[in-house]
Amino acid sequence: MTSPPHESNSTPAVLRNNDGAFDLIAYLDGSVRAWGVFEDRAGRVRRRFVADLAGRRDGSHFVIDEEFRFDDGAVEQRQWKFERGEGGAFHATATDVIGQAEGRAEAGGARMRYQFRLAIKGRSVVVDFDDRFYPIDGDRIINRATVSKFGVRLGELTMLFERRPGKAAGADLAGSERRAA
């Protein structure tokens, strides 16, 4: 029996570290494309987007350059800098993140929490993100994030990440490729 295109039959070692927890940083090493939606608290889709991520090692940090292209034509770029901690812990910084994001690899996934400066209708609003990452196979993960303010859920972000074969780690994506969805 032949597998459908793009289907992985097994979970490669890159998905798990020595204690069986998902290694988000190892997964993001290289070129990744993501598709997603943001739903408000009533479940209405408010935004759709495509994102390209390029992860690479840079000294003691792991760096991810990301570009989000939204359905309304808006484009956001940011750079994350990750550092590994002990026992599956990691932390990260980015320009829009208040302080630092705290994360942990867990059996079956990874979790990262942080405060984020979000532009809404021309204003800057600080919201809380609770990101959860779930590996599907060696090439794909699903990210569910709850966005809240003062403990009140504002909505949910859902993303599908897919590793891009043949792309060198940290390689810049061509402009025409970035616009392709």
3 occurs within a structural domain: no
Q: Based on the structure, what is the number of domains in the chain?
A: 1
Say which DSSP state 164 is in: -
Higher pLDDT pick, 167 / 60:
60
CB 157 within 8 A of CB 31: no
Say which CATH number the domain at 46 has: 2.40.128.20
Angle, CA of 63, 29 and 136, to the nearest 5° = 125
Do the bridges between strand 97-106 and strand 75-84 make them parallel or antiparallel, or are there none, so unpaired?
A: unpaired
User: Which pairs count as long-range contacts for 55-60, CB under 8 Å and 24+ apart, including other chains?
Assistant: 55/25, 55/28, 55/29, 55/30, 55/31, 55/169, 55/170, 56/29, 56/169, 56/170, 57/29, 57/169, 57/170
133 occurs within a structural domain: yes
- pLDDT at residue 69 above 50? yes
Distance (Å, rounded) from C-alpha 38 to C-alpha 158? 7
- pLDDT at residue 160 above 50? yes
Q: pTM for the full model?
A: 0.80
Model pLDDT, residue 107:
78
Taking residues 50-75, report their average pLDDT: 96
Nearest to 169 by CA among 72, 28, 59: 28
Higher pLDDT pick, 20 / 43:
43
Distance (Å, rounded) from C-alpha 57 to C-alpha 72? 33
The confidence band for 166, taking pLDDT boundaries of 50, 70 and 90, is low
101 occurs within a structural domain: yes
Model pLDDT, residue 165:
82
Model pLDDT, residue 20:
65
173 occurs within a structural domain: no
127 occurs within a structural domain: yes
Give the Cβ contact number of residue 24 at 10 Å: 28
Taking residues 54-67, report their average pLDDT: 95
At 92-118, the pLDDT tens digits run 999 999 999 999 998 789 999 999 999
Question: What are the C-alpha distances in Å from 132 to residues 59, 74, 135, 143?
Answer: 27, 25, 10, 6
The confidence band for 120, taking pLDDT boundaries of 50, 70 and 90, is confident
Indicate the SS3 state at residue 152.
strand
176 occurs within a structural domain: no
For residue 107, give its domain range: 14-165
Give the Cβ contact number of residue 67 at 10 Å: 15
47 occurs within a structural domain: yes
